[in-house]
A and B are shown apart, each in its own frame.
With several copies, the nearest count.
Chain A
């Protein structure tokens, strides 16, 4: 295992400490609960939007905390759901009279722990509701889920809800928006390599030098099938068709397109993929209103990428265009 790591047991804690040290004004960090939240939150006039799943998917979701995005994130260990008390503390500290919205990617562990924390918080009179994101079209059920998995499409739910919350939307309004985004967003990914959780020290799956995993999950869960390595355009075509036909999208749709790197793939390659995705959109009569090329939801250092399409309407276009800021400085 070749990684920048000290004691693997402290990997997540040290990463969070690094994020906190890098954003002393914007963020607060509570090490006991892996909790990162905005220093100016909770705001009594705004619904708090929070998320917490396994670590290893950075920048999702701890680096999505900031104005117009998440108010807090409570990550678990690498690839494991945050324990119930992390979830509970997150809700409790972010509790606002306007409510708390928990955005959950559809994994059994995340769902069960958050559900339990929500019940406990509700029993104390906290106004909290949750929404489940399941944008991955690759497989119906999986080793980690009943139903589809939640992957990079998550970003769009956060962005839209974050923007609406900033404008004062109610909790029910946010649930409606989350529901709308989730119903219009579809993703599929592909892995070229495996990845190695620091505490495990070994790759989470084996893959041949000439193989790819089509439809891979962000914890390395099996996808649709193994295939031989093929040209970038052919890979995009397969992802695009799976995503396009699932909703299905149709000619005339206005869309946002995301090419998300899984961690080990350089941005140069992501633009090679975007080029083909843009060609396919044009061919299918889709108008690309916004595009996102970079890392949004990763699997540690896995080489690979996912393609996401989101069908837009004027409300969503407006929400995606709203100002936002994240805890990762770019320039």
Chain B
């Protein structure tokens, strides 16, 4: 089975950064329905620095690269998102500190570490209507392919983007239980969670960046 290289990670992060910048206003609007309307601005502030510092980022290993992203995100993203996204990148980075390419199994472990990190940092569980409700299905989908030697990484990516996209509608009518949105209680019902939309949009944009036709389209802010 193919390995996932540092170059793949670079391409993915670059696409995610573009997602964050292109959707700055749209993600904040999503956060304004029930939250404090800062999510898009927060995320963009961090990924803008990623873009600006792009050429100087440490590329000695996948882990070093991700830890650098983690640092930039935690430093530059306000609200809950800074430590949550920062932790995710940090946990994933720690498992790949000395690797320049990883297996799908490694990726699944890194994603699991990221999910556990988010849960530990912010105390959310599945069902709280947070980006975990996109990330956990994505991780589960990837797990299905682990150990299948003939799995096509492009296919895995397409499927991952698909389950993340599905999460938007699936969770829309739930009540947000974490972050600023939880303070407005029932007002979150009927509004998609901004964090879930962001994850789905990023995965779809990564698909496009590597020439994979996504199963569906999440949004285009």
Give the B-binding residues of A (Cβ under 8 A).
Answer: 80, 83-85, 108-109, 112-113, 115-116, 119-120, 123, 143, 146
- Taking a contact as CB atoms under 8 Å apart, the answer to whether A85 and B78 are in contact is no
- Taking a contact as CB atoms under 8 Å apart, the answer to whether A123 and B94 are in contact is yes
- Taking a contact as CB atoms under 8 Å apart, the answer to whether A84 and B83 are in contact is yes
Q: Supply 19 A–B pairs (Cβ within 8 Å), ascending by A.
A: A80-B78, A83-B76, A84-B71, A84-B75, A84-B82, A85-B71, A109-B80, A109-B83, A112-B82, A112-B87, A112-B122, A115-B120, A115-B121, A116-B74, A116-B83, A116-B86, A116-B87, A119-B87, A146-B123
Beta-carbon contacts under 8 Å, B179-201 to A? 183
User: What is the minimal beta-carbon distance from A194 to any residue of chain B, in angstroms?
Assistant: 19
The tally of CB-CB contacts under 8 A between chains A and B is 43
Cα distance, A29 to B82, chains bound together (Å): 25
- Taking a contact as CB atoms under 8 Å apart, the answer to whether B83 and A115 are in contact is yes
Nearest-neighbor residue (CB-CB) of A113 within chain B: B83
Nearest-neighbor residue (CB-CB) of B179 within chain A: A108
Query: Interface range on chain B: under 10, 10 to 19, 20 to 34, or 35 or more?
Result: 10 to 19
Is B84's beta carbon under 8 Å from chain A?
Answer: yes
Interface bits B76-105 vs A (CB < 8 Å: 1, else 0) = 101010111011001000100000000000
- Taking a contact as CB atoms under 8 Å apart, the answer to whether A112 and B71 are in contact is no
Cα distance, A98 to B209, chains bound together (Å): 49
Cα distance, A236 to B66, chains bound together (Å): 47
Cα distance, A109 to B75, chains bound together (Å): 13
Cα distance, A115 to B123, chains bound together (Å): 12
Other 13 A-B pairs with CB < 8 A, given A85-B75, A112-B83, A119-B90: A84-B75, A84-B83, A85-B74, A108-B80, A108-B122, A109-B83, A112-B80, A112-B84, A115-B120, A115-B121, A116-B83, A116-B121, A123-B94
